[in-house]
Amino acid sequence: MSHRLESCLIRAGLLLAALLLIPPAAAAQTPDASSTPPPPPAEIELNLINLPTTRSLKRHQSYFRLTHRFARDLRRGDFGQLAEDLFSLDNGAIIGLEYRFGITERLQAGVHRSILSKTIETFGRYDGWRQSETLPVSISLIGSIEALNNMQEHPQPAIAAALSRTVGSRLVLYSMPAFVWNTAAADFLSGHEAHQHEGIGGAVDDDHGDHTMLLGLGGRVRVRPSVFVAGEYTPRLAGYDPGRGTWGVALEKKTDGHTLQINFTNSFGTTLGQLARLGSLHDVYLGFNITRLF
C-alpha cells in the first residue's frame, strides 16, 4: 500500500470518527422529549364545589377556603329585577371559612364555619390509597362532627369515603358515599334565616327516620391549561329526606397557590350535614369559592 493511499485512509477514518461523534453532541444540546414533565392531573383542589376530593396535603401544608353563596334565588323575578339587584350581588350571602392542616402526607384535619345557623364542622381525612397500575381509584376516608350555634346544639357526626378516578390530565371523576346522623333534628330555620332562605329547610318527617345516607357524584374537566369546569350532584339514598338532592356547576381558574371558582347551586350547604338535609326544589343561587394553599 502506497504512502499516499495510507494517508487517505487515515484521513477518511478520522472524518468518519468525527461524524460519529456529532449526533451525541447535538442530542446533548436538544432537550429529551422523555424528560419533559407530563401535564399536571386534573385533580387541582381538595373540593369540587362542596364535595371533598382525594387530593392530599403535604406534611405541614396549610389550606384556606372561603365559600360564598348569594341569598337571592336567580329564578325569582324577571330579567330587569335581577339586573337591578346586580344578579343577586346586592343581596346578603351565606359565607363559610375553612382551614386545613396536613399532619402527615396522608393525614389532614380542619375546621369549617358557616354563618348558616352558626354551624361549625370539625373533620379529619386519611388519604390512604392512591390510584396506581394495580389500584384503579384513589380512596380517602373522612370523619366529621358538626353542630349548630357554634357547636352547642344538634351535633351531627358523619362518616364518608371519597373515591376518585383520574383519566389522563384532563378528567377526574368522583364518588362519595356518606352517612350523617341526626340530620332531622337540625333541619329547621327560624326568624331572619327562615325568611331569607325560604324553601331550603323542611319539617321533620318521622317516617324517614332521623339519619341520612347520601351519595355524592361529580367530576372536573380541564378545558384550558388552567381553566376547569366542575359539577356535582348529591342524591339522598335513604333516611331523612326533606327535599331534593343538592347539585352544583362551576367554572374555575387555577393559579399558583390559588383557585377561583364561580358556581351555581341549589343549596347554601357546605358541610356534610348541610348537604344531607338542604337542597331546594326550585331555587338557584350564584356563589363562589376562593382557596389558597400555603
pLDDT, one tens digit per residue, over 245-263 is 999 999 999 998 899 999 9
Residue 52 DSSP symbol? B
**What structural domains and CATH numbers belong to the chain?**
3-33 (no CATH), 37-293 (2.40.160.40)
Is residue 292 a contact partner of residue 134, using CB atoms and an 8 Å limit? no
- What are the tens digits of pLDDT across the range 77-108? 777 766 777 666 767 899 999 999 999 999 99
Point out which residues pair with 263 in neighbouring strands.
250, 287
CB atoms within 10 A of CB 31: 8
SS3 271: coil
Rg (CA), the chain: 27
Backbone angles phi, psi at 283, to 5 degrees: -80, 150
Alpha-carbon distance 138 to 170, whole Å?
16
Average of per-residue pLDDT across 165-189: 91
Residue 288: pLDDT over 50: yes
pTM: 0.79
Average of per-residue pLDDT across 166-195: 80
Point out which residues pair with 204 in neighbouring strands.
none
Share of the chain above pLDDT 70, in %: 77
Q: By C-alpha distance, which of 251, 263, 259 is closest to 294?
A: 259
Q: What is the DSSP string of 173-208?
A: EEEEEEEESSTTTT----HHHHHHTTTT-----GGG
Residue 49 DSSP symbol? S
Is residue 223 a contact partner of residue 250, using CB atoms and an 8 Å limit? no
**pLDDT band at 124; cut points 50, 70, 90:** very high
Alpha-carbon distance 198 to 190, whole Å?
10
Question: 8-12, 117-121, 201-205: which has the minimum mean pLDDT?
Answer: 201-205
pLDDT of the residue at 4: 53
Average of per-residue pLDDT across 48-71: 96
Average of per-residue pLDDT across 217-244: 93
Share of the chain above pLDDT 90, in %: 63
**pLDDT band at 5; cut points 50, 70, 90:** very low
Is residue 257 a contact partner of residue 293, using CB atoms and an 8 Å limit? yes
Average of per-residue pLDDT across 116-142: 96
Is residue 149 a contact partner of residue 118, using CB atoms and an 8 Å limit? yes
Alpha-carbon distance 289 to 65, whole Å?
7
pLDDT of the residue at 25: 40
pLDDT of the residue at 202: 42
pLDDT of the residue at 186: 86
Is residue 72 a contact partner of residue 202, using CB atoms and an 8 Å limit? no
pLDDT of the residue at 164: 97
Average of per-residue pLDDT across 212-233: 96
Backbone angles phi, psi at 4, to 5 degrees: -65, -45
